[in-house]
Amino acid sequence: MPRPKARNYEEEQTALQSPMLNVGRSLAQGVLFGFGDEAEALIRSAFDKSKNYDEFLEESRKGLEEIREKAPILAYGTEIAGGLTTGLAGLARTGVAKLGAGLRGAVEGGIYGAGATEGDVADRAVGALTGAAAAGALSKGAEKILPLKSVKARELEKKGVQPTIGQAFRDTPSIGSRLFQAIEEFSTSYPGVGPVIQNERKKALIQANNVLINEAIEPLGIKLPKNKVGHEAYDFIDDELDKRYSQTLSKLKISNVSNLTNKMLDLTENSGLPKNSQEYVAKQISKNISDVVQNNSLSKNILKNAETELGRLQNQFIYKGGYEGEIGLVFRQLKNQLRDEIELQNPNTDLQKLNTVYRNLEPVADAMSQAAVKEGVFTPAQLLRALRKVDKTKRKKKLKKEQLPLQKTAKLAEDVLGGSFPDSATASRLVAAGVFERPMENIKQLVGPALIADIAYQRPLGISPLMATAQAPGFIARRGAAPVTQTLIPEDLSEETQKIVNLLEQIQQ
């Protein structure tokens, strides 16, 4: 492929007399990995018998050569854009998607080089070799140097969480990505900028909370309203579940209640609560279950009232926090044990779904209790700690194999969002003091950076222009390495490669 010449606007106008055809050819070259001209000739020769395949191929190549010479920016820009699209080019990528960036670029560059080269098999082999070397080097270099969003960040975005720029570039081998991440982390302590970044991180954390809660309640086909956050979100879901549970309980019954109460008393005794607290819990078990048994069974309204009262006691103590919060957690365990017994004795699809959701929400409620000072907005790390508690398997087998509900999503969110980066407040206090002492002189130190940061983190239509701009060069260089390098490969490089191939053939002879 010849290198683009200097742009000439008069010649460009000539080349664009019929732009649709030649621009389409350039686009097809990118989409079809350099085989656009062959595809055009094959299709046209099948339907138009006025010329044969070779004649149509020559016509297509002349059109490509003309637009490349007279409108190189348009020609090569369109070709590169075609290489970045899905379609057949995307289909070609799927076969090498699991390869490393350099090897994937080399494979695609080799295919593109063979397709873009004119001549016999030997010439195409030279084109493939040259294209593979150039595209592989560019793709690998882009991965190591230019900013690129991490695979995990893209996966988390698909779930509905929008990480900040620094979070999106975390956990990549790129020097440029680590630079953006470091700048964001350092900026959290910068006056005016820090609050903007922390606010964006909190938004991402709230989105992650809602994604995890929605995943927990998915078996029932309900969804959390977008305006519900933290404890408010949990209360909304809990109320919705209680309504459904009450409707279901009115039709159910459990027998052998003495066995159930023994399990509950054992759970209370092993809870670690102080003796007086255990006695209080035991009295509630007797009051709501043992003392209301009829013929060693609980049914209909009696069963429903027992479950409702355990839920009320759970909420009463949990929201107090501290040691009383621990009592609330025990009442939650007792309520869940009652529900497990109901499910065991009453096989019912709706009931099983309800209990599955309740079990999914148990670690969520625990994580929220850890985040009480933040209105129940929990971090992925807090949820992972709560999941560890609910895993009763030997040596935490399910946790190690990532088989617990919500665990994979929580781990993904933890890897991308990470922990918070609290503001040490030293710099902020100094600037704030200066503002109060000399407001007209120093207010710009807060307003200016805050305004710039706020603009930088805007997401019109859900897209961050700054993030898109930062990763565009790396994306084009890595994903479009094949068409990009084909526009830049000098002819003398192809000539040198041809000499090497000729030398190897002579040695074989």
3-state secondary structure 229-249: CHHHHHHHHHHHHHHHHHHHH
Exposure string of 245-284, with b = 16+ CB inside 10 Å and e = fewer, is beebbeebebeebeebbeebbebbeebebeeebbeebbeb
pLDDT of residue 172: 81
Average pLDDT of 390-407?
Answer: 84
| Amino acid letter for position 422 | P
Signed CA dihedral, 100, 106, 112, 114: sign only: negative
Q: Residue 204: which residues within 8 A CB-CB, separation 6 or more?
A: 161, 162, 163, 164, 167, 417
Residue 505's pLDDT is: 52
Structure token pair of residue 229? 């956050």
Question: Is the pLDDT confidence value at 321 over 50?
Answer: yes
- 379-396: average pLDDT: 87
Average pLDDT, the chain: 76
Q: What is the dihedral of CA 434, 436, 440, 446, to 10 degrees?
A: 60
- Range of lowest pLDDT (9-18, 77-86, 261-270, 305-314): 9-18
Rounded to whole angstroms, the Cα distance separating 361 from 352 reads 14
Lowest-pLDDT range of 76-80, 303-307, 350-354, 377-381: 76-80
Residue 299 host element (H or E): strand 297-299
Q: How far is CA 331 from the centre of its chain?
A: 36
Of 162, 173, 200, 204, nearest to 184 by C-alpha is 200
* 411, pLDDT greater than 90: yes
Q: Residue 330 has which token pair? A: 């025990």
pLDDT at 457 over 50: yes
Q: Which residue has the higher pLDDT, 319 or 137?
A: 319
Give me the helix-helix angle, 349-370 and 230-249, nearest 10°.
150
CA-to-CA distance for 236 and 248, rounded, in angstroms? 19
β-pairing, 253-255 vs 297-299, is: antiparallel
Reported as a single tens digit per residue, the pLDDT across 7-52 is 444 444 444 445 667 777 777 777 776 777 778 888 888 888 888 8
Q: What is the pLDDT of residue 115?
A: 64
Residue-wise pLDDT for 62-119, tens only, equals: 887 787 777 777 776 777 777 766 434 454 445 555 555 666 666 676 667 666 666 6
Q: Which of 105-119, 139-153, 160-174, 255-269 has the lowest mean pLDDT?
A: 105-119
CA distances from 10 to 13, 345, 352 (A): 5, 86, 74
∠ Cα 309 312 316 (to 5°)? 140
Q: What is the pLDDT of residues 115-149, one digit of tens each?
A: 666 666 666 676 667 766 666 666 666 677 777 88
Residue 43 token pair:
């299709």
- Helices 481-488 and 101-116 cross at an angle (nearest 10°) of 50
DSSP state of 253: E
φ, ψ for residue 82 (rounded to 5)? Answer: -65, -40
Residue 152 · residue 408 · CB < 8 Å: no
- pLDDT for the residue 413: 93
Both tokens of residue 210?
Answer: 């809602």
Mean pLDDT is lowest, of 113-127, 316-330, 360-374, 492-506, for: 492-506
Yes or no: say if 35 and 64 are a contact pair by the CB < 8 Å rule. Answer: no
Question: Residue 230 pLDDT more than 70?
Answer: yes
Other Cβ atoms closer than 10 A to 493: 13
Cβ count near 124 (within 10 Å) = 17
Question: Quick check: helix, strand or coil at residue 252?
Answer: coil
